[in-house]
Structures are given as structure tokens and as C-alpha cells.
Structure 1
Amino acid sequence: MSVNQPVTANSWQRFCRGRKLDFWTVVIGIAFVTLALFLVFPFSSTVLRSFMTESGKLSFEHYIDFFRLPYYYRTLFNSLSVCVTATILASLVGLPLAYITARFNVWGKKLINLLIIMSLLSPPFIGAYSWILLLGRSGLITKWVQTFGIELPSIYGWLGIVLVFTLKFTPFVYLYVSGALGSIDRSLEEAAANLGMPSWKRLLTITFPLILPTILSAALMVFMSSLADFGTPMLIGEGFKVLPVLVYEEYMSEIGGNAAVASTLSVLIILCATAVLLLQKWVVGRKNYTMSALRPPEVKALSAGPRLLLTACCFAFSLVAVLPQIVVVVTSFLKTNGPIFVPGFSLESYTTIMYKLSRNIANTYAYATIAIIIMVLGGLLLAYVIVRRKSKATNLLDILIMFPYVVPGAVLGITLLVAFNKPPLLLSGTWMIMVVAYVIRKLPYTIRSSAAILYQIDPSIEEASINLGVSPMKTFFKTTARLMAPGVFSGAILSWVTTINELSSSVMLYTGRTATISVAIYTEVVRNSFGTAAALASILTFTTIISLLIFYRFSGGKEISL
């Protein structure tokens, strides 16, 4: 082509074909550039900042201080103690609960599942706040048992954090294990039964070992979620500090100065989370757990007595897990006199938040809507290239996308602030940095649910469309994307609910103009404005319920995928 020859559409297409620059290559390229800018660059900046002294020199000073000063290294032990204990307790409760509902004909399974999902998708630190209302120094239960001369242990500190984490994250174990128990081939258990093995031994030596990867995945989710939680220990820790709280306090005390200590703590949190993730993968990788589920296990019919007992146990946990949300909703309608609740019911708290905090409510839904649109489109495209265009590049892309799974929200907020607090890309203090944080944190949900359903779609459907002359891009949007819609919808609902409830990253990134409902709940609780905090939390609870009902309505009763 001569220098003066105009570039026509055909010549551009030939240019692209010669270099294999098709639509999906462009998608992969844009994905890498975006992740490099908003994920790799921020975390690299944070790691570099952790090695910088106040004078700008490279040094291990902050890491040495962390392992030298008890104030810092005890926080690491505090975090590990609550996370490990909560993980063990959640597993001990969630495993039998999942087994009972999966293998026996208990009553009300759908309602039990709905209550457990509701407890998992509750607004931020609502559990801690509710248990303070119930078991705090002036709590309803505390005062009631005191009339009998009984003194309950304090809800504040290590015990309270572990209690809230256990109740909050047991649903992870329940939902993961329930699905896995339904995919076991019952012939394995039947063979052991025919050899005379008692049922409890079959459970411990065959059933649970077969689903060990799922159990470990659930335990990993509990550990990661406990490690990342900021609101609960901040609210009821009372001097018992964990790493996310320390990160927040260190960064807030260094605004306008050196954030190297907060960066150092952030790096250490990521290293701890990554080490646990690698340990889980190593344990799972030592054995082969593949099996064919040609004969799924049957649900065992129980007689009236045992059936009633097991149903009562399941509902007892479900109601205790969802009790914090019930307490908050009821509290939101109580009359208040400053920070004190007085007898009677009123809509005063709702009137107050509509007058004073309407911007927070509008921000929450606006940011979540923008984020979910990006996540749905990104989930469709990225799931496709990861599943259908397998290569070293897409494998690396998959790893980068899933990396935020091991990153607490407060740490993500620190990394974004460190990276984008000066020109040429000044995002700190804007609504855009909030949306970026939400997309990075929640995109994996949409990616995973989209990829799961894509594996079930026969590639020959796309090939037939392309053979008829339809371009790969049009084939994707007209055929494949429509078939992927149910999976995308599942992940999008989960992303939407968790986004409107997001606190840990929001509390690091917000300003007065960009604050969300979660941030407002936190600040109202800190100010002892419990009525308005309950009203705000109730709005999130009602939104979550409506979102779940919409999902069940359009998915035909399908369970939400984690």
C-alpha cells in the first residue's frame, strides 16, 4: 500500500487479520491494560511505599518495626486467632447443618436456605451492632438475665468478634457443602454400608473426604472474610485490634503525610491471605477427588419424631443467624430521644435519614448500578475468553481477576489511594474511585458464575452460527450471551447485594460528597445515633430481600451460586 493510498475498511480488516487482531484479542488487550492500571499498578505502588522511609529512601525499617514492636505483631496474632477460631466453629456448625438439609426430608428447606442466604448477605457489621443491642452492657438479654442474678460474658473483645464471625460466615460452609453433598455418587456409600460400616464411620471416612476440596474452599472463604472484616472488630473490639482496623487507624493518622506503615500492614495482610490460599491448594492437590455422580444420593425419609427434631435444629440456627437483621428492623421503628430508645413506635428515624442522609442513599444505588453494568459486560466478555480462548495470556488474566479474593477491602482502598492521589490520574475523593473499588472486588462473582454456565454451552452452537456467515462478535452477543444470561444474572445479583453492603473499602475512599449507606451506618453508630443507623441498615436489608425475590422469580427457584 502506497503512502498516499487511503486506508479503506477492507485494507484495515486485512491488516487486522494479518496480525490476528480480532475482536477477542482486543478484549484481552483492553482487559490487561485495565487490570495493569487499576490492580497491578496500585498494588505495586503500595509494595514500593512500604519500603520507603519518610525521607524517601528504600529501607526495611517498617517491616523491622512490625516484628519488633508488640503493638504491631500482637495485632497479627489477634487476627489469626479470631480467623482460625471462627473458621473452625463455622465448619463445625455448617457441616452438620448442610448434611441434615441435604440428606434428610426436613420441613421448610427453601425457607431455611432463604434465611441462611439473608444472614450471609446482611448489611455491614449489622451482626455486631445487633448483638450489642441484645448482649451489650445495657442489652435486652443482658438486663433480662440480670434480674435472675446471672452475669453474661462481655460481648466486647475477642469473644464477641468470634461469635459474630461464626454466625455471619457459617452460611459459606452450609451453601458450599450442601451443593457438594448432592453431587456424590451414592454407590460409594452403599458399598461401605454393604461391608458393615456404621453410618458415622461412612460419614467421616468416605463422605466428608470426598468433598474435602469443597470443605476447604468454604473454610478458606470464612477465613478470608474474617480477615477482611473491618466493621465488626472496629465496633466491638474495644482495644482488641486486628489488622484491618490497624491499617485504617494508621492511614487515617497519616493523611497528608507518610502512609508507609499502612502500606506495610497491607502487604503483610496480603501475604497472610496468599499463604492460606496456597496451603489450601497444596492440601487439595495432594489427592485426586474426581468421581462420577451418575447416582446422586437419595433424601432419606425420617419418622415424625427425628424429622421434627432436625427441622427444629435447622430453624433454630437459621433464626439465630438472621436475628440481627430482625432486631435492626424492629429497632428502626422505635422512638428515640437522642441516643436513647424510648417506649413507642415512630417513623422518626426514617424521616431523619431522608432529610439528612438522602445523598448517601442516592450515592449507594448510583455507584452500585454503574458498577453492576460494568461487571455484567466485563463478566460476559472475560468469562468467554477465559473459557473459550484458553492460552497462557488468558490463564494469567484469570489469576489477576481472582487476585482481589485474597485482598481485604481496607487494603484495596489503601492501594487505590496510594496510587491515585496525585496527577496525572487523580481519582482520590471522586465517585470514580469508589466504582473502581467495587468492580475490582466484586467482578470475580460475575466471572465465576458466567464461566460456570459457559462450560455447559456446546461450542458447536457458536460454530454453526459462524459457518452461516455471522461474525464471531455478533454470534457472541446474539447467541452465546443470551444463553449465558442465567449464570450472569446469578453472579450479578450476588455482586449487586454485596456492593450496596460494601463498607471496608468505602470507609477508606469516601468523602462527604461520596459517602454511601454503609459508611453512614458506621458513622451513625460511632455517634451513638442508633435509630438512624438501624433505619439505614433496614433499607439495605429490604433491598437485599427484594433482590433475592427478583432472582428467585426469574430463575425459577434456582439457588444463588457462590
Structure 2
Amino acid sequence: MAFVTSFPPRRVTAKPGQIAAVALIGLFLAIFLIIPAGTVIYTAFTEKGTGALTFVNFLDFFATDLFRRSFFNSVYVAGMSVVWATLIALPLAVLTTRFDFRGSMVIQTLGFVPLIMPPFVGAVAMQLLFGRNGTVNLLLNDWFGVRIPFMEGLNGVIFVQSLHYFPFILINLSTSLRNIDRSMEEAAQNLGSSGFRLFRRIVFPLSMPGYLAGASLVFVKVFDDLATPLLLNVKDMLAPQAYLRVTSVGLTDPMGYVISVILIIVSIFAMWLSAVAMRGKDYSTVQRGGGGLMRRSLSRGESIVAYGVVGFILLLVLSPHIGLLLLSFATVWSYSPLPDDFTMVHYARVFDESSVYIKNTLIYASLAGLIDVVIGGAIAYLVLRTKVVGRRWLDWAATSALAIPGVVLGIGYLRTFYGVTLPDGTPLATLWVMVVLALAIRRLPYALRACYAALQQVSESLEEAAENLGATKQRTIRRIVLPLMTGGLLAGFVTSFSTAAVELSATLMLIQSNSDAPIAYGIYVFMQSPAGRGPGAALGVIAVIMVALCTLLSHYVIERRQKAIGSAK
């Protein structure tokens, strides 16, 4: 006789609080991310006037010479920015990871500095340094009788974007180079490979995951950027065209929405393509821990060349900061290698007339960072510590914000919330709180990943031990989980704060008055006229200092926290 034992199907149980958390977060993401983005996409496929679904808008887009040219210009600028960013990052990454190079940590740190200043802030300063009548070309013309079109048209956008975004490649490529298995290199050397051939055939291919991760980020960031082309007066690119169509023609014009959809599609395609390029290839190490690349010493002649190359690159990538600082103190800087004289009047004007920009930035960026940490931490906890249905969808929905450019989100907010009014008739889209929400949505993926990584390092056994001793779930989270996640939570807050503080794309779409404007908007307004460039540069310096201090403070707090935890152990 056979006995058949049947077991009831396993049920995934969830507490009411967890279900409520999923519902509230899902509602937040639906209202402020999915619906605005979906509205943009839906409008792009509807016929103006009738509302019928159609592909005519996209046919009109590709039938218009301006839009076709804008599309190819955007792809060209993004692609060439990746090329030049690679040429800047590759020597720094190789020299600091492959050789015994004194000062490698300082070089890596200085290589990260460009990211704390948005590209549009340094664009005007770059014109004064590298423009047709800038410092470099004036000197070249005096010495050799030549001028180089560094900042002419699309070249200027590529130049500025390459100098700003190359750290994405530097950081990811350096990490990959450090993790390459030493035995791979030794095996290649035993077979007679060395020098550039070894690097080209073995080392660089093994570091390809890190390189492609950085390169895809550079491509997407440049492709979606709005402010830099506008400040350089380059309007035949997709993001500026989307902004100009909505602001000049109006919210009913379908072309702005069509361009927005194309921006989203190309962004997703670029990230997908980088993932496909890695599919089916093995980059894993053989040794435990990888072993790292063998470092070799440089000869005296090689050291001179290496330090010369590194010095030139660092001078180049820090030139926007140098130019911005000089401009902020300059009385007059025109048709001369350096300013005629220096003054503090621009800073006095900023603190006297434009302190509202600084105050608004601190409020908006702090609120956005707080929202991101709360929601990111909640999603991370729901994904890693619960079995509640829908938790993975929250993760995917929040991460999808990476593929939504700021200008698209701004257009979506205007289209979705402008018709929703308060009792006094004020459109919801014109309130300053919408700027905060847009900034929070844009930076949520960064905070989410930081919270996710922090919670993964907290052992569940600690929570189980606390609950076995009688602690409630809420008390365990408050007394055990959150203190151990402090570093990750702070990292997520700082990342959101520092990037939200200088966000312009979404802000430019939503700000209706100067009284509600943050510092990025103020810089953009000042930089529109020659008379305002000095105060604009002063605001830019303040923004850079603000972000830098926030970053340094976070590192200090994290280090103290780690030391305290180490001492407790």
C-alpha cells in the first residue's frame, strides 16, 4: 500500500504594516513617477485635437530636418564624449592601478572632483579659457598664429561633457583593474606577451565590465543633458528641443512629448546594449579575491613621462573649477588671457540679492534627500527582510527613474499636474513642493542602492537575537537595524543631496518665479548675460563648496561610525 502525503501550499504571509508600506510607496511612485512618465508616452502617441492613437507624430519628427539633425547630433555628442572621456580616464586608471605610482590616491581623489560641479556651471568658464578668444587660443595665436576650435558648436558640448563625466569611467575601470586575477597576467607573460600587447589582449578585455558600466553612464548622462547645450547656445540637440517646444509652443504641442519618448528609448537602449555586450562572456577570477594586477616600478624616464601626462590631464579636468574661481573674482575678463582685475563685489551681490537661491537649495535638497532615504530604506527592508507580495515591483519601479531624463520628468509633471488646482486656483505643478518631489524621484535610485547595500551587511541573526530577547519588530529596527545602517543611510542622503543641489533639467521646467528658485536655476539665469557671469560664477563656487563640504562631512561621520563599531566589537 502506498501512502501519499500531501502538503498544503506554502503561503507567503505579510504583516499589515508591511502591506501598508508597500501600498503607500507604490502609490507615491505611481503618482510622481509612473503616471507622469506614462502621460508623456501616451501623449506622444495621440493625435492633437482628437486624442486618437497614432504614429503620425513620430513620422512628423523624422520628416523634420531640425529634429533629425538634433537626434543625430545628440547621439554624436554622447558617443564622442564617451571616446574623449575614455582617453582622459584610461591613463589615470592604468597608472594608478598597474604601477607603483606615488600619489595615486591623490590622483584618484582629484579625478573625482569634476563630479561635484555640474557641467553647465563650468561651461561659461570653459569658454573664457578655451573659447575662440579665450586664454588658450589667445596665447596660441600670439605664439604660433593658430586658433583651435575647442568650444565651437558641438565641439564645446563634447569638451565640457567629457571633462565632467569621465570620472564615471575612471571609478569603474579602476575597480575592474584592481579585481583582475593576477594569474591571468602571469600566464600571458609566460606565453611571451608583454607591454602594450599584454594590456590590449589581456588586461583591458578583462576590465571590460567596469569600463562598459562607466561608458554607458557617460553616454546616458550626456545624451539627456539639457543645461550645457543651452548655455553654450547649441539648440539643435534633443533635450534642448524638448524644452524649447514645451516652453515656446506649449504643453499641447506633441513634438515635445515625442522627443521625450525618444530620450527615454535611447537611454534604455544604451544601458541594455552595455548589458548585452557582456552576455555569454566570463570575466570571473580563478584565485580567491582576484589577487589584483601586478604592480611594477617605473624607471626614471618613465616616471617623468607618467607624471607629465597625469599633470596635464589633471590640469585639464580641473580647468573648469579654476576658470570658475577666476571668473567669480574678475572685474572684466574679455579678450585677455587673465582677468583685468579682481573684486569681491560678485559675492557681495550674491549674498545680498540672491541668498534666497541658497536657502531654497538647502531646503529642497535636504527634503529630497530625506524622502529618498526614507523610501529607499523602506524598499530595501521590504525586499531583503520580508516576503510581502509586490516588493520586487517597488524596487524595479524606483530604479526605472534612472531611465527618465530630468526634462522628461519636468514635462510629465507639467502635463499631469498643471490642470490640478488648489481651491484658490493655483495649479499644483507651480508649487515649490513639486520641485522637491521631482528631485527626490530623480535621485531615488542612488539612495536605494546605498540603503540596499547597507542592509545586506546587517546580519539577520542580530535581529533574530533581539526578537528572541523580547524586542518587538519596531524596536529591533529602531535599536539594531537603523544604527547599523547609518553609514549607508548617510551615503544615500549625501548622494541625493549633493546631486539634487545642482539639478537643473527638471527644475528649469517647473520653476515659475525667482522666489522659489534653487541655486542651479539662479546660476543659469545669471549666466545668460555677460553682466551676470561674475555673480553666476560666485553662485557656482558656492554650490561647489556646498556639495564638497557635504561630501567631506559624510566621509567624516562614516569613518567615526566605523571606528565606534570597531571599538564596540
TM-score, normalised relative to structure 2: 0.89
1:118·1:544 contact (CA, 8 Å) conserved in 2? no
What is the aligned partner in structure 1 of residue 198 from structure 2?
202
Query: Structure 2 matches for 1:8-47, cutoff 5 A?
Result: 20-47=14-41
**Conserved 8 A contact 2:373-2:451:** no
Quote the Cα distance in structure 2 between the aligned partners of 1:339 and 1:195.
58
Q: Tell me whether 498-507 or 103-112 shows the greater mean CA deviation.
A: 103-112
C-alpha spacing 1:393/1:157, structure 2 compared with 1 (3 Å): same
1:193·1:199 contact (CA, 8 Å) conserved in 2?
no
In structure 1, the partner of 2:520 is 518
1:537 is displaced (CA, Å) by 0.5
- Is 1:318 aligned to residue 321 of structure 2? no
Tell me the equivalent position of 1:491: 492
Spell out the pairing of 1:471-550 with structure 2 (5 A cutoff).
471-512=472-513, 513-528=515-530, 529-550=532-553
Letter in 1 for 2:40: T
After TM superposition, give the deviation of residue 42 of structure 1 in Å.
0.6
Most deviating of 23-32 and 356-365: 23-32
Worse-superposed segment, 427-436 or 545-554: 545-554
- C-alpha change, 1:160 and 1:216, in structure 2 (3 Å) is same
Instruction: Report the more deviating stretch, 36-45 or 302-311.
Output: 302-311
Match of residue 118 from structure 1: 113
Aligned: 1:242 with 2:237 = yes
Q: In structure 2, how many angstroms separate the alpha carbons of the residues matched to 1:542 and 1:266?
A: 33
CA contact (8 A) 1:86 1:162 kept: yes
Q: CA deviation at 1:157?
A: 0.7
Query: Residue 108 of structure 1: CA displacement?
Result: 2.0
Provide the residue aligned with 1:328 in structure 2.
324
Distance 1:511 1:402 in 2: 29
The answer to whether 1:173 aligns with 2:176 is no
2:553 is paired with a residue of what secondary structure? Answer: helix
Q: 2:51 aligns with which of 51, 57, 64?
A: 57
CA distance in 2, matches of 1:63, 1:516: 35
C-alpha separation in 2, matches of 1:444 and 1:227? 19
C-alpha contact 1:98 1:178 (8 A) present in aligned 2: yes
Q: Measured at CA, do residues 170 and 392 of structure 1 come closer, stay the same or move farther in structure 2, by a change above 3 Å?
A: farther
Matches of 1:204 and 1:554, distance apart in 2: 41
1:171–1:496 CA distance, 2 compared to 1 (3 A): same
Is the contact between residue 328 and residue 537 of structure 1 (CA under 8 Å) also seen in structure 2? yes
Shift of 1:295: 2.5
> Matched residues in 2 for 1:178 and 1:37: separation?
39
- 1:532-558 Cα offsets, whole Å, 9 max, x none, are 111110101111221232233233499
Check whether the contact 2:122–2:324 (CA below 8 A) recurs between aligned residues: no
Coordinate RMSD, CA, aligned: 2.6
Q: In structure 1, what is the Cα distance between the partners aligned to 2:300 and 2:17? A: 61
Counterparts of 1:259 and 1:463, CA distance in 2: 57
Between the aligned partners of 1:557 and 1:79, the Cα distance in structure 2 is 45
- Structure 2 Cα separation of the partners of residues 212 and 20 of structure 1: 42
- Match among 396, 413, 416 for residue 416 of structure 1: 413
Alignment correspondent of 1:14: none
- CA distance in 1 between partners of 2:293 and 2:453 (Å): 23
> Per the alignment, do residues 188 and 543 of structure 1 end up closer, same or farther by CA in structure 2, a change over 3 Å counting?
same
Asked if residue 358 in structure 1 is aligned to residue 355 in structure 2, the reply is yes
**Distance in 1, Cα, partners of 2:14 & 2:126:** 59
Q: CA deviation at 1:267?
A: 0.8
Question: In the TM superposition, what is the alpha-carbon distance from 1:308 to its structure 2 partner?
Answer: 4.0
8 A Cα contact 2:130 2:136, kept in partner: yes
| CA–CA distance in structure 2, aligned partners of residues 537 and 418 of structure 1 | 31
After superposition, the C-alpha distances for 1:225-279 in whole angstroms (9 at most, x for unaligned) are 101111211122445x111000010001133x51422111101110111112222
Q: In the alignment, is the contact (CA less than 8 A) between 1:82 and 1:158 conserved in 2?
A: yes
Work out whether 1:77 is the aligned partner of 2:72.
yes
Look up the equivalent residue of 1:477 and give its one-letter code.
R
Stretch moving more, 420-429 or 129-138: 420-429
Q: 1:88 aligns with which of 80, 83, 88?
A: 83
User: Are residue 155 (structure 1) and residue 151 (structure 2) matched?
Assistant: yes
Question: Structure 1 stretch 194-203 or stretch 210-219: which is displaced more?
Answer: 194-203
Number of matched residues? 540
| Contact in 1 for aligned 2:150/2:159 (Cα 8 Å) | no
Of 59, 68, 74, which residue of structure 1 is paired with 2:63? 68
CA distance change for structure 1 residues 453 and 189 in 2, over 3 Å: closer, same or farther? farther
Identify unmatched segments of 5+ residues in structure 1.
Answer: 1-16
Report the equivalent of 1:251.
246
Q: Distance in 2 between matches of 1:233 and 1:106?
A: 37
SS of residue matched to 1:150 = coil
What's the CA shift for 1:336?
4.9
User: Alignment partner of 1:344: what SS?
Assistant: coil
Rounded Cα–Cα distance in structure 2 between residues aligned with 1:200 and 1:154: 30
Contact 1:103 1:299 in 2 (8 A): yes
**Cα contact 2:14–2:386 (8 A) shared by 1:** no
- In structure 2, what is the Cα distance between the partners aligned to 1:86 and 1:38? 31
- 1:11-70 Cα shifts (integer Å, max 9, x gaps): xxxxxx997334333322221111111111111111122233332332333211101111
Contact map agreement 2:119 2:160 (CA 8 A) in 1: no
* Partner amino acid, structure 1, of 2:478: F
Q: Which residue of 1 aligns with 2:124?
A: 129
- 2:223 & 2:200 partners in 1: Cα distance? 29
Equivalent in the alignment of 2:279: 285
CA–CA separation in structure 2 for the residues paired with 1:324 and 1:465: 52
Q: Deviation at 1:342?
A: 6.7
Code of the residue aligned with 2:527 in structure 1: it is V
Counterpart-to-counterpart distance in 2, 1:18 and 1:167: 50
What is the rounded CA distance, in whole Å, between the counterparts of 1:456 and 1:154 in structure 2?
Answer: 47
C-alpha distance after superposition, 1:163-183 (max 9, x if no partner): 112111111100111122222
Q: Give the AA of the match of 1:531.
A: G
| TM-fit CA distance, 1:313 | 2.1
Deviation, 1:296, is: 3.2
Question: Identity rate of aligned residues, in percent?
Answer: 29
Distance 2:67 2:84 in 1: 26
Using the TM superposition, give the Cα deviation of residue 203 of structure 1 relative to its aligned residue in structure 2, in angstroms. Answer: 2.5
**2:566 matched residue in structure 1:** none
Matching residue of 1:437: 438
Could you tell me how far apart the structure 1 residues matched to 2:13 and 2:487 are?
Answer: 35
Identify if the C-alpha distance between structure 1 residues 206 and 337 changes in structure 2 by more than 3 Å, giving closer, same or farther. closer
Instruction: Identify the residue that residue 553 of structure 1 maps to in structure 2.
Output: 556
Q: Aligned AA for 2:21?
A: V
Q: Residues 190 and 456 of structure 1: is their aligned pair in 2 closer, same or farther, counting only changes over 3 Å?
A: farther
Worse overlay, 279-288 or 344-353: 279-288
Q: Secondary structure at the match of 2:209?
A: helix
TM-score normalized by structure 1? Answer: 0.90
SS of match in other structure, 2:516: coil
1:87 shift after superposition: 1.1
C-alpha contact 2:365 2:500 (8 A) present in aligned 1: yes
1:48 to 42, 48, 57: 42
- One of 220, 225, 228 as aligned partner of 1:229: 225
**Aligned partners of 2:61 and 2:101: how far apart in 1?**
51
What letter is aligned with 1:127? G
The superposition leaves residues 455-482 of structure 1 with CA deviations (integer Å, 9 ceiling, x where unpaired) of 2332222222222222233222221222
Cα distance change, pair 233–138 in 1 and its aligned pair in 2 (3 A): same
